Amino acid sequence: MEKFKKLIFGLLMLATIGLQAQNLSLETCKLKARANFPLIKQLGILENLKDLSLENLSKGYLPQLNFNAQGTYQSEVTSLPISLPNLTIKSLDKDQYKTYLEVYQPLLDGQQVKKQQAVSKSTFAVEAQKVEVELYKINATVNQLYFGILLLDSQLKSSNSLLAEIDANLNKLQIGVKEGVVNPLNKEVFEAEKIKILQRIEELNFARKSLLSSLGVLINEAISETASFEIPKQTSALPENKRPELALFDLQIGNLEQQKSLIQNKLSPRLGLMGQIGYGRPALNMLNNDFKEYYIGGLKLSWSISSFYTNARERKTIENQKGMIAAQREVFQQQTNLNNVQVQREIEKWDALLRTDGQLVETRKRIAAAAEVQFGQGTLSSLDYLAYINQLEQANQQVQLHQLQKLQSVYQQQYLFGN
C-alpha cells in the first residue's frame, strides 16, 4: 500500500511538472545562449594557458643552469720558450676536453621577467576579449528570433480573435438559414473566410515552430509550442558606448604599450652572479696536461650593444600598429553612429504611426458597428461586412505590431551601444 501511494505521488508530481508551461524572457534566452555557445570554452582554456605562461616566466628569477661538453683539436698549444738543463717540460696535448656546469643567478635585469609577464597578461586579455566580441554577437541573433516569435504571437492572437468573430456570425447565419430568413450564400461566404483564416493560422504556426526550433538550438533547450514569451520592458539605450569591440581596441593598445616597454628594456645592462664547475684537460692550469676538476665564481655584467641598432625602428613599428588600431576604432564608431541614426529614425517612425493608430482603431470600430447593424437588417452584403470586420482586425493588429516593432528597434539600439 505504501509503495502504491508513492507511485501515485510520483505520477502526480510528473503531471504537475508537465503542466507547468515554459515562461521565457529575452535576458534568460541571452544568458542560456551564451552559456551554450561552444566558443565560451575558450575562456577557460585561455585562463589556463595564461597561468602556465606566467608560471614559466616566473622561473626567470631562479638560477639558470647550463651543462656543456666539448672536445677540440688545435693546431698549436701553449709552450714555454725556454729550455733548462736536466729539466724536461712536457708540452700540452693538442686534443683537449672539457665538461662543465654553468650557473647564472640574475641580480639586475631591468625588470625583464616582470615586463615579460605584463606582456603575457595583456596578450591573453586581448585573446579573451576577442572571444567576448564573438559571444556578444549571439545577442543579435537571440533578439531577432525572440522578437520574431513575439510578432508571430501577436498575429496569431489577432487571427484567432477574427476567427472567433467569424464563428459567432456563422452561428447566427446558421439559425437564419434554418428559419429561411438568411440567404445561404451569406453563410458560404463566411465559411470560405473561416477556411482562409485557418490557413493563415496554420501558416503562422509553422513559422513559429521554425523560430522556436532555432532558438531552442541556441539555448540548448527544447521549447514547447505552448511556451510563453515575456514582452521585454522598454528602456532607453545608454548614451555611453560599451560595446566589447571598443574594450578590445583598448586592450590591443595596452598590449602594444607593454611590448614597447619590453623592447626598451633590451637596452638595459644585465648583472648577475655566475659560477662554473667542470672537469677537463687542461683545467685552469694550462701547464698541467692531466684531467682535473676546476671551478670559477664571480659577477657577470652583460650589455647587448647591438640592441641599439633596431630599438628605434621597433618602437616606431609599435607606434604604427597603434595608429592602425586607432583607425579601426574610428571606423567602428562611425559605423555604429551610422547604424544608430537609422535605428533612431525607425523608432521615430513607429512613434508617429502609433500616435494615429488609436484614432484609426476607433474609426474602424464605429464603421464595423454600423456595418453590423446594416448586415443584420439585410441592407449590406456579407462580403462588404467581412471587409469591414477585417479592416477593424487589421487596425487592432497594426497597433500591436507597431508596438513590438518599436520595442525591437529600441533593443536593436541598445545592442548597438553594448547595453
- Taking the C-alpha atoms of residue 46 and residue 130, their distance in angstroms, rounded to an integer, is 11
Sheet holding 64-73, edge to edge: 64-73, 95-108, 270-281, 292-302
pTM, to two decimals: 0.81
How would residue 19 be classed by pLDDT, with cut points 50, 70 and 90? very low
Q: Is 230 helix (H, G, I), strand (E, B) or coil?
A: coil
Domain that holds residue 130: 24-71+102-267+304-416
E strand spans, 139-214: none
Asked if the structure places residue 373 within a domain, the reply is: yes
Asked if the structure places residue 52 within a domain, the reply is: yes
Asked if the structure places residue 261 within a domain, the reply is: yes
Residues 206-249: tens digit of each pLDDT = 999 999 999 999 999 999 999 999 999 887 656 678 899 999 99
Asked if the structure places residue 97 within a domain, the reply is: no
Asked if the structure places residue 378 within a domain, the reply is: yes
Asked if the structure places residue 81 within a domain, the reply is: no
| Buried b or exposed e, range 142-179, using 16+ CB within 10 angstroms | bbebbbbbbbbbbbbebbeebbebbeebbeebeebbee
Rounded average pLDDT over 18-35:
83
Average pLDDT score, the chain: 87
The total number of structural domains in the chain stands at: 1
Residues 82-92: tens digit of each pLDDT = 666 666 667 77
Task: Find the CATH number of the domain harbouring 383.
Answer: 1.20.1600.10
pLDDT at 190 (0 to 100): 81
Asked if the structure places residue 294 within a domain, the reply is: no
pLDDT reading at 411 higher than 80: yes
Asked if the structure places residue 385 within a domain, the reply is: yes
- Taking the C-alpha atoms of residue 134 and residue 126, their distance in angstroms, rounded to an integer, is 13
pLDDT at 86 (0 to 100): 67
